[in-house]
A and B are shown apart, each in its own frame.
Chain A
Amino acid sequence: MEVVLLFVMIVGLLLLGVPIAVSLGFSSIVFLLAFSDTSLASIAQSFYQAMAGHYTLLAIPFFILASSFMSTGGVARRIIRFSIACVGHFRGGLAIAGVFACMMFAALSGSSPATVVAIGTIVIAAMKQAGYTKEFAAGVICNAGTLGILIPPSIVMVVYASATDVSVGRMFLAGVIPGLLAGFMLMVAIYIIAVKRNMPKGDFAGWAEVGASFRGAFWGLMLIAIIMLGIYGIPGVTGAIFTPTEAAAVASVYAFIVAMFVYRDIGPLAAKPAQSVGAAVAEGMDAPMGTPKSLLSHPQALITAFFHRDTRDTLLDAGKLTITLMFIIANALILKHVLTDEQIPQSIANAMLGAGLGPVTFLIMVNVILLIGGQFMEPSGLLVIVAPLVFPIAIELGIDPIHLGIIMVVNMEIGMITPPVGLNLFVTSGVAGMSMMAVVKAALPFLGVLFIFLIMVTYIPAISTWLPTLVMGPELIIK
């Protein structure tokens, strides 16, 4: 079995500390050259076409860029203030507010670690000050941060859509209800624990604070409206204005305008020189924001904003993340190309269907593969490899592609918070200054919640498919 050798080689190289992208690419090349007469030039072609030939993946750099502009400076701070004003007065209120803030930030950002960094840094510190244990705070944020890839927009969903040719717009809609549900379940779990352990509660600051904090966060939250209304239109009023990919580009431009001219946290109108993202966020809610300059007195900012150092740095940050993610995805696509060239997905599908596999066993198998694979791989790279292997089988078994996609995303979420390797565990341990094992223990009770959630999502397709069917009509399954 050459394929087994191929996968053993990939895992071996990963554990040795070879970059993920190179592990995938090098193993594929060796496999290709050893077992077929396809040329090295085809590898280069795949590499180039990973970007130039995948229109859907274009949404990735654009969503990353929108999220970068949105997490520069004070958007996270404003969102947290708003969510504390809303739910801070319940028992365990600051923790519940943390989840709520993660949900809102997830709707601006396509990635989970970014959500943990932006919200976690502030909320964990605030919770400690309010008398929560650091462990509880870390456990909450570590879990809620995973919503970054379930609540649209989501980079992982874009990758799934591109790998399986389902509609990005549909995937995004399918994530809405599961995202809200998962967030709600986490909040309920926190509330129960908080009542039992008699955790602190804040004071209700009044409707005036709710209003004021909402006005503060409004321009950031408007991004959600722009993305959703732009992609789906307003029923009865207007059709859609752009495709999901274009929505991402428009979101970037909008986020740039808000950051530069409305919030003025960065750029020529900022009150003080911009700090790095980490520092700005870590200064917390009480950091002085200063008074930014007015556009009326500095009209030249309309031009200089484009060439400002902060603009370049934000573009660079987003570019760096795009490059490292796309390098992995491109090499995963090279692996996919090699597997296809050797007709491996086909033989796996035939073998499994021949063995009389049923939908339930199949879904459990997918869950297990993803949970194990998630230990070694960046989620989007894993999806590029696994989706083409399991998709044809799922279609054969009559499983809805959108439903399958949501199951896969939820699996990725869980993979991020299970030991030994989990993206969110790393990030939380770094942000909170705790050991990995301490974070693992802290995350455990909430991990249980997400597991129950996974089972619900796996066996109740309507959670995922109801909303997209309602808005976009019945799904088109072509393959």
Chain B
Amino acid sequence: MGTRFEPKGRIGRFVHEFEETAIAVLLGLMTLLAFVNVVLRYAFNSSLIWSLEVILILFSWLVIFGVSYAFKITSHLGVDAVTNLLPDRGKRICALLAGAVTIAYAFLLLKGSWDYWAPFAALDRTSGQWFPTGWENTRDQAWYVTDQVPPLRWLFGWLEPLINQGEVYEKMPRVVPYFILPFGSALILFRVVQAVVAVARGTRSSLIVSHEAEDEVAEAAETLKRQGA
């Protein structure tokens, strides 16, 4: 516990920097947008009718994107009271079993995410209840737009001929915000597999931390010790 994640290599550092900045920017945008809406309403008696929906979209982006990052830096919460009683070998076996369950979860989440998102992108779902067994002819939902989000046609206009039979989107199509599901789930699966491999190699001890303030506590305890308190 308590060891901060250190990215390795140039690409590793770049990716790490990107992930951290993306998380900060998403949260910052949510906050500013909510704040601006209060100011607009209170001071100018007006509102951005799309702001609520956009804030909520950013919120789900923040979390679904961030889950994979949290797997990477081992900050998901878990219970280690029982596994800590075991000898090292037992701990490792438990961590590997827990890893297998987590991989299965991430895999099922990815299949579910694809099946959910695909119709909005005019793509086919997978067949099969547990495992994808092939493609299933799916009723297209690419026409489905968000409630209030402006279409940003300069950015997403290319979707119209591609999936919406050339019809103009008057609001942003749902395929855009929902894209975070397959994208985020794929990242989660990738990070979980990476973590389990590291456990198998012995470079990482588990997938979890026992409480949310683990980093801060470790640091504070260290400083206290240094001061001889």
Contact = CB atoms under 8 A, between A and B. Distances in A.
User: Are these two chains actual partners, yes or no?
Assistant: yes
Interface of A: 13-23, 25-26, 29, 33, 37, 39-45, 47-53, 55, 57-58, 61-62, 65, 111, 113-114, 116-117, 121, 124-125, 128-129, 241-242, 245-246, 249-250, 252-253, 276-279, 281-284, 311-313, 315-316, 318-328, 330, 376, 378, 420-421, 423, 426-427, 430-433
Interface string B196-211: 0000000000111011
B193 interface: no
Contacts of B122: none
B109 A249 contact: no
A277 B26 CA distance: 22
Contacts of A421: 79, 81
B162 interface: no
Nearest to B111: A40
Interface of B: 20-21, 23-28, 30-32, 34-35, 37-38, 42, 52, 55-57, 59-60, 62-64, 66-67, 69-70, 73, 75-83, 94-95, 97-98, 101-102, 104-105, 108-109, 111-113, 115-117, 125, 129-130, 177-178, 180-181, 185, 206-208, 210-221, 223-225, 227, 229
Contacts of A325: 212
A44 B181 contact: yes
Contact of B227 (A52, A125, A432): A125
Contact of B217 (A52, A117, A252): A117
A278 B33 CA distance: 30
A378 B113 CA distance: 26
Contacts of A313: 24
B164 to A, nearest CB: 21
B20 A43 contact: no
B78 A20 contact: yes
A423 B211 contact: yes
Instruction: Give the one of A33, A61, A245, A284 with max B CB within 10 A.
Output: A61
Contacts of A50: 60, 63
B55 A58 contact: yes
B221 A17 contact: no
Contacts of B30: 58, 61-62, 249
A19 B34 contact: no
Closest 5 A/B residue pairs (Cβ):
A278-B219, A40-B112, A249-B34, A323-B66, A282-B223
* Interface of B (DSSP majority class): helix
Nearest to A61: B27
13 contacts: A16-B97, A26-B108, A44-B109, A47-B112, A51-B60, A276-B216, A276-B219, A278-B218, A278-B220, A316-B24, A320-B69, A323-B70, A433-B225
Contacts of B57: 52
A64 B97 CA distance: 33
B217 A278 contact: yes
Contact of B98 (A18, A125, A327): A18
A47 B64 contact: yes
Contacts of A430: 214, 217-218, 220-221
Nearest to A323: B66
Contacts of B111: 40
A319 B78 contact: no
A325 B76 CA distance: 9
A25 B107 CA distance: 12
Instruction: Give the one of B20, B212, B221 with max A CB within 10 A.
Output: B212
B202 to A, nearest CB: 16
Instruction: Give the one of B27, B67, B180, B219 with max A CB within 10 A.
Output: B27
B45 to A, nearest CB: 13
Nearest to B37: A246
Nearest to B119: A41
A327 B129 contact: no
Instruction: Give the one of B64, B78, B108, B214 with max A CB within 10 A.
Output: B78
A321 B212 CA distance: 7
Contact of B213 (A15, A16, A21, A427): A427
A43 B82 CA distance: 30
Given A125-B229, A278-B220, A315-B23, A327 B63 contact: yes
A33 B130 CA distance: 7
A124 B34 CA distance: 38
B56 A39 contact: no
A52 B60 contact: yes
A25 B98 contact: no
Contact of A278 (B23, B63, B117, B223): B223
A473 B98 CA distance: 50
B220 A45 contact: no
Contacts of A26: 101-102, 104-105, 108
A321 B97 CA distance: 26
A177 to B, nearest CB: 28
Nearest to A39: B115
A320 B101 contact: no
